[in-house]
């Protein structure tokens, strides 16, 4: 069996924060969230291990079931999530907000790659912000194609 | 045996490289009459102008620029069955392997792509519900770290999509992916991974041969053009595009109604940026027999 998706929720007033843990695939069930009828949904992707093509379909179908007036916020989006945001229409709802996401960086000096958590406000004109290597604080280089990786910012 | 024909508009640099790659295949440059022609070019105009010539059996193109444009070209011109990324790190090596495979016709498995293997593993899948767990277990048992810098997630996604596709395109079970499939031993899906100093190859082979070049190219092109999932079929219509995006080379071997093999090649790069900037290669080999 694949590691079933676990959704941990925290509700405060009309806002729910959902943490996804495991794989988003054809067996993923979002029922725990669809019946809630909240005004704000916060999705935390930090612990998503895999998202396959059928998982993307389940995800978009789930979004379509949420109240149209509700606000959706995405946080801690791993690279696998960012790449699908960029490639598949509907992955982000019309007025979705991205709070934070991971981006690949590389430190030439330490010969190491890192995933750096960026806030939306860190990215100006779809240019990667400067980041320091966690080991020796040396400057790192962004390690993807900016135009592609930050495409979701424009297409949102 | 076929004969190689160079397109009128091929660039001088590419011509030299291609010629050099043919050193060990003199028969392909012979002047015998009545041979089928394999057109080689790096120019899209050549693909269009030669495509309808009946003497041309297949077209090989060295590609620069945007990957999705190459897939569109292959969709529109089905004889274009070999796309070679112009910035491939081992371009001549890739070409030599292609000529060898086109002239030999009996290669299966990732070993011909990954010579001097450092690591090799084969898994047989009969139960569709065991895919993710088996891949995770493989990754836990074997340290791929040095060979898959920043690409572990790509490896997992590619393995998952290719094996799942093989299960649900089989004639032996349900098509709805929420239903699990149990195949008999002789119908099992073969998953292989092989690594050497240059690359890693993930290979998935089925025993029924229904994945044609046409289907594959159309599926990738549709997902690239529409950027939407499909709801009427059994899959979401996005999986092959994800495999394409996560690979440096895709190699398809197809013996209709008997066997299909899809190999995703991930080359070793220090940096993800280089991996992403590598123009993708796509090779299709039709087999008359196993």
pLDDT tens-digit map of B57-67: 999 999 999 99
State the smallest CA–CA distance between residue B251 and chain A in angstroms: 21
Residue B56 has pLDDT above 70, yes or no: yes
Do the Cβ atoms of B235 and A53 come within 8 Å? Answer: yes
- The reply to whether A151 touches chain B by the CB within 8 Å rule is no
What is the pLDDT of chain B when averaged over all its residues?
Answer: 92
Q: Which residue of B has its CA nearest to A115?
A: B150
* Confidence band for B81, pLDDT divided at 50, 70 and 90: very high
Contact between residue A103 and residue A115 where contact means Cβ atoms under 8 Å apart: yes
Q: Which of B149, B164, B228 sits opposite A88 (nearest CB)?
A: B228
Mean pLDDT across B183-207? 94
Cα-trace Rg, chain A: 16
The pLDDT of residue B2: 82
Q: How confident is the model at residue A1 (pLDDT cuts 50, 70, 90)?
A: very low
Q: How far is CA B8 from the centre of its chain?
A: 27
Choose among A52, A88, A143: nearest Cβ to B160. Answer: A52
The conformational region for residue A76 under phi > 0 = left, psi -120 to 50 = alpha, else beta, is left
Percent of chain B scoring above 70 in pLDDT: 97
Between B149 and B134, the more confident residue is B134
B271/A143 touch (CB, cutoff 8 Å), yes or no: yes
Measured CA distances, A131 to A83, A139, A140, B151, B266 (Å):
21, 6, 6, 21, 27
Sign of the dihedral defined by the CA atoms of residues A37, A41, A45, A47, in that order: negative
Instruction: Tell me the pLDDT band of B89, cut-offs 50, 70 and 90.
Output: very high
Range A74-93 average pLDDT: 96
Lowest mean pLDDT among A12-21, A147-156, B131-140: A147-156
Closest by CA to B235, choosing from A50, A93, A81, A52, is: A52
Beta-bridge partner residues of A43: A18, A74
Average confidence (pLDDT) over B137-157: 83
Q: What is the per-residue pLDDT for A156?
A: 45
Burial class (CB in 10 A: 0-12, 13-18, 19+), A15: middle
Chain B contacts of A3, Cβ < 8 Å?
Answer: 132-133, 136
pLDDT at B178 over 70: yes
Sign of the torsion formed by the C-alpha atoms of B143, B148, B149 and B150: negative
**Scanning every residue of chain A, which has its alpha carbon at the shortest distance from the alpha carbon of B239?**
A53
Least confident residue range of A21-30, B123-132, B138-147: B138-147
Does A89 touch chain B if contact means CB atoms closer than 8 Å? yes
- Average pLDDT (A21-42) is 94
pTM: 0.94
Whether chain B has a CB inside 8 Å of the CB on A143: the answer is: yes
Q: How confident is the model at residue B233 (pLDDT cuts 50, 70, 90)?
A: low
Inspect the interface and report whether the beta carbons of A50 and B160 lie closer than 8 Å: yes
The whole-number pLDDT of residue A51 equals 96
For residue A155, pLDDT over 80 is answered with: no
Q: In angstroms, what separates the C-alpha of A106 from chain B's closest C-alpha?
A: 7
Mean pLDDT of A29-41: 94
Question: Per-residue pLDDT for B183 more than 80?
Answer: yes
Instruction: Give me the pLDDT at residue B148, please.
Output: 74
Interface of B with A (CB under 8 A): 129-133, 136, 149-150, 153, 156-157, 160-161, 164, 177-178, 226-229, 231, 235-239, 241-242, 245, 270-273, 276-277
Using the structure block, give the residue that is written with the tokens 């916060």.
A42
B147 or A121, higher pLDDT: A121
B-chain residues near A63 (CB < 8 A) = none
| Range B112-117 average pLDDT | 93
Helices (H), chain A: 31-34, 53-65, 79-87, 146-149, 151-155
Of the listed ranges A25-29, A61-65, B12-16, B31-35, the least confidently predicted one is B31-35
| Chain A, nearest residue to B160 by Cα | A52
Q: Name the percent of chain B lying above pLDDT 90.
A: 75
Mean pLDDT of A2-29: 93
Nearest residue of A to residue B234, measured between CA atoms = A54
On whether the CB atoms of residues B41 and B47 are closer than 8 A, the answer is yes
Q: Any idea which residue has 């790190």 for tokens?
A: B89
Mutate to test the interface with B, among A47, A52, A62, A109 (most CBs of B within 10 A): A52
**A83 near B CB under 8 A:** yes
Q: How far is CA B15 from CA A91, B37, B42, B55, B67, in A?
A: 44, 16, 9, 21, 22
């Amino acid at each position: 069996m694949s590691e079933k998706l676990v959704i941990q929720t925290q509700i405060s007033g009309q806002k729910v924060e959902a943490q996804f843990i495991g794989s988003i695939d054809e067996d993923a069930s979002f029922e725990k969230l669809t019946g809630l009828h909240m005004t704000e949904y916060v999705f935390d992707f930090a612990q998503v291990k895999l998202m396959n093509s059928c998982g993307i379909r389940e995800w978009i179908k789930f979004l379509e079931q949420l109240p149209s007036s509700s606000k959706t916020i995405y946080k801690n989006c791993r690279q696998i999530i960012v790449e699908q945001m960029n490639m598949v229409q509907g992955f982000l709802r019309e007025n979705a907000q991205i709070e934070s996401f991971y981006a690949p960086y590389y430190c030439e000096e330490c010969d190491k790659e890192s995933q750096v958590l960026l806030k939306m406000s860190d990215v100006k004109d779809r240019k990667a912000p400067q980041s320091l290597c966690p080991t020796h604080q040396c400057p790192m280089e962004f390690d993807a194609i900016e135009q592609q990786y930050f495409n979701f910012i424009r297409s949102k | 045996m076929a004969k190689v024909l160079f397109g009128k508009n091929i660039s001088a640099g590419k011509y030299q490289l291609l010629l050099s790659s043919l050193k060990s295949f003199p028969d392909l440059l012979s002047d015998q009459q009545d041979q089928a022609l394999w057109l080689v070019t790096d120019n899209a105009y050549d693909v269009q102008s030669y495509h309808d010539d009946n003497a041309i059996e297949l077209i090989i193109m060295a590609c620069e620029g945007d990957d999705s444009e190459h897939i569109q070209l292959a969709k529109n011109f089905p004889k274009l069955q070999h796309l070679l990324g112009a910035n491939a790190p081992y371009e001549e090596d890739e070409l030599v392997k292609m000529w060898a495979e086109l002239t030999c016709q009996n290669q299966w498995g990732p070993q011909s792509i990954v010579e001097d293997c450092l690591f090799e593993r084969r898994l047989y899948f009969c139960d569709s519900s065991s895919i993710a767990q088996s891949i995770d277990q493989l990754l836990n048992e074997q340290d791929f770290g040095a060979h898959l810098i920043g690409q572990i997630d790509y490896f997992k996604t590619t393995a998952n999509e290719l094996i799942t596709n093989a299960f649900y395109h089989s004639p032996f079970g349900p098509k709805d992916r929420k239903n699990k499939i149990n195949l008999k031993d002789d119908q099992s899906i073969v998953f292989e991974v092989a690594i050497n100093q240059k690359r890693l190859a993930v290979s998935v082979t089925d025993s029924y041969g229904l994945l044609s070049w046409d289907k594959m190219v159309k599926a990738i092109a549709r997902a690239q053009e529409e950027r939407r999932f499909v709801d009427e079929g059994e899959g979401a219509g996005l999986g092959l595009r994800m495999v394409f995006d996560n690979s440096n080379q895709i190699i398809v071997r197809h013996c209709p109604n008997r066997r299909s093999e899809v190999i995703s090649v991930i080359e070793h790069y220090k940096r993800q940026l280089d991996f992403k900037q590598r123009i993708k290669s796509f090779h299709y080999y039709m087999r008359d027999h196993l």
